[in-house]
Amino acid sequence: MEAEHFNQLSNEPTCTLYELAPATLPIRRLLASTPGTRSICNDPLVVGVEYTDALMQACAATLTAMQRTGTLALVEAQTVVLHILRGGLNFGLRHALAEAFGWNRHASAFISAQRARNSDDPQDWYISENEYRKINLPPAATIVFGDVVATGTSLLYALRQILDVVDRQQTQVRELLFVCIGGPRAEEILIEIDAICRERFPVYRGATVIYLEGRFSVARRDSGLSVMIPDTDLLRTGALLAPEFIRSQSDSPSYPLERCTIYDAGSRAFWLPEYFDDVRDYWRRTLALAEGGMTYAELLRQRLPELDPGNLNDNDLAEVCRKQLGRIPPL
């Protein structure tokens, strides 16, 4: 069987676009690398409005690159941006479409879908907040949406709800376009929904997932990491990463050591005290490891053993930790 890899479709300063291969799945899988998403996925101190603006601009650049390469042909009056609350708001796809194509009349829909779990069982996730929804769809809707995906609990719930609404409103789905920072579960869910759409809707044309910077792996209890949150953290190791993102790991000694590619997407935008506590906790625990004798090279072998370290292993781990802790505002 041919190993998974990617083929470059375009290379511009604002966005490099790849297609994942082999193309044996029923959905299309793309990978985009932009300056903004490299900054977001490397530096957890890109937060608040700066974070959401950077993500919106990255989505706009990706949409533009897709149109130029012939991998995207949307119709304004048929396009609905689905906002999966609250993490999906961060992608700014309503404004990204306006910036990329000069649109003003595309629609928006909203659905709340917050995951939680009852126990430590990795399969025990459920939707805890789902009270709000506002969904109106044109007769043949192209649904554009974004989210962060680890277990995919919120994503699967939201898309199943959309299909229920489509049935009640007696409309159809024409196309699905999903932009994500996430792992393989994103395409697994999209394949499931794609199969339903192909069976139900005569106008249906297909589904596309666009991974930003990589298709990351998801932390498991057996991942062998000293500090992690299972079923939540998006990891660099074991991932399929854009070459630009791999090269950027050498820009700062902290980048390849971060606990998660994105941390908590919602609090990162909308409630910084909680978010900074999360990031601070990781670097405090890592500092304790360093003070207990762990070296930079040892931690790098945990977090990203595939990376050629170059001079990175010359760094003092405790010093890297203290520098990161010093950057976190005392909110």
For the chain, the domains span 5-215, 244-327
> What pLDDT is stored for residue 129 in this prediction?
55
Closest CA to 259 of 292, 281, 291, 238: 281
Segment (H or E) for 247 = helix 243-248
> What pLDDT is stored for residue 313 in this prediction?
96
Supply the pTM of this predicted model.
Answer: 0.94
CATH class of 5-215: alpha beta
The mean per-residue pLDDT over the stretch 105-121 comes to 73
pLDDT in tens, 6-31: 999 999 999 999 999 988 899 999 99
Outline where DSSP puts E strands in the chain.
Answer: 5-12, 15-21, 28-33, 79-85, 107-112, 114-117, 125-129, 133-134, 140-149, 172-182, 206-218, 234-241
Q: Any idea which residue has 């932390």 for tokens?
A: 219
Q: Which amino acid is at 84?
A: I
Question: 296: buried, middle or exposed (CB in 10 Å: 19+, 13-18, 0-12)?
Answer: buried
- Listed in sequence order, the residues at least 6 apart from 118 whose beta carbon sits closer than 8 Å to its beta carbon are 124, 126
Q: How far apart are CA 324 and CA 331, in angstroms?
A: 15
Segment (H or E) for 166 = helix 153-169
> What pLDDT is stored for residue 130 in this prediction?
59
3-state class of 18 per DSSP?
strand
Q: Do residues 108 and 80 lie in contact, with contact meaning Cβ atoms separated by under 8 Å?
A: yes
Question: Which two tokens mark 151?
Answer: 């277990």
* Maximum mean pLDDT: which of 19-23, 83-87, 312-316: 312-316
